[in-house]
Structure 1
Amino acid sequence: MKKIILAGVFSLCSISTFAEVAVIINPSNASNIDADTIKKIYLGKSKSFDNGTKVNPVNQNDNAIADEFNDKVVGKSSNQLNAYWSKLIFTGKGTPPVKLDNDQAVLDFVAANGDAIGYVESGKVNDKVKVVGKF
């Protein structure tokens, strides 16, 4: 019986870790954004949208959605990404995206800022933001 309960708990945990991530921007932003562009933005290699507007990316504090985004979109684990940004900060070559607490904070920030890009669990998206990719 204990094995069945443990298997059920592990199944539920693994399901929540595979949440679909939606990358969002402000609806007023008409930029073309693909997965490669998103990756470059979150690695600090691209500082503006294709229309020339400076990009203002936001991350989430360490949680399951941030881990999914880092893995699926950026191609690095959270630890690798932290090490990457630490090196850039130390050498004066970059500043990481600001971290917000949760999906709602990201939704509110992106809805209020035309230059913002962020990510949330896809089920949390509302009509105040525009989805540019799902991963």
Structure 2
Amino acid sequence: MLNKILAIMALVSAMAFSPVTNAEIAVIVNPANSSALTSDELTRLYTGRSSAFTAINLVESSPLRSEFDEKGVGRSSAQLKSHWAKLVFTGKGTPPTELETQADVIDYVSKNINAIGYVDSANVTDAVKVILTLN
């Protein structure tokens, strides 16, 4: 009985401190890039079916990444990881470059005209341009 109570307490504690962000996500590009983007095109970019931009991802451990995977690509992080594993194994694709922080994404995108990334809309700076917002 005590083990059951401890297990329930651990589960409740984990849920209370889980990093769910529910942020408004800004898809960003270099300000010199005049391209427009639809949600479908975003999905194609982050699944390797388009190379119109150099896609930049946050690291797997980032809560914003899993939220982007769901809102922006329409797949869970596990589904996308499996998708990319197949493409890499067959030599048919290279997954997006991963950067550690949102500041790193902004810095990279601001310096590369063909790069596309995403950050929490609260973190957008003048160094980048928002071309799509995901709620």
* TM-score over 0.5 for the pair: yes
Task: Find the aligned partners of 1:102 and 1:84 in 2 and give their Cα distance.
Answer: 23
> Could you say what the CA RMSD is over the residues aligned between the two structures, in angstroms?
1.8
Q: What is the TM-score with the length of structure 1 in the denominator?
A: 0.84
Give 2:66's aligned residue: 67
CA shift, 1:13, in A, is 4.9
Structure 1 SS opposite 2:86: helix
For 1:76, the aligned partner's letter is R
User: Larger Rg: 1 or 2?
Assistant: 2
Is 1:106–1:118's contact at 8 Å kept on the other side of the alignment? yes
What is the DSSP-based 3-state SS (H/G/I as helix, E as strand, rest coil) of the residue aligned with 2:26? strand
Q: CA deviation at 1:32?
A: 1.4
User: How far, CA to CA, are the matches of 2:102 and 2:48 in structure 1?
Assistant: 22
Counterpart mapping for 1:35-114 below 5 A: 35-48=39-52, 55-62=53-60, 63-114=62-113
Cross-structure match for 2:127: 128
Ranges in structure 1 where 5+ consecutive residues have no aligned partner: 49-54
Would you identify which runs of 4 or more consecutive aligned residues in structure 1 move more than 3 Å? none
Measure how far apart 1:17 and its partner are.
Answer: 2.2
Q: Matched residues in 1 for 2:123 and 2:86: separation? A: 33
Match of 1:34 among 33, 38, 42: 38
Instruction: Say whether the 8 Å CA contact 1:34–1:132 is kept in structure 2.
Output: no
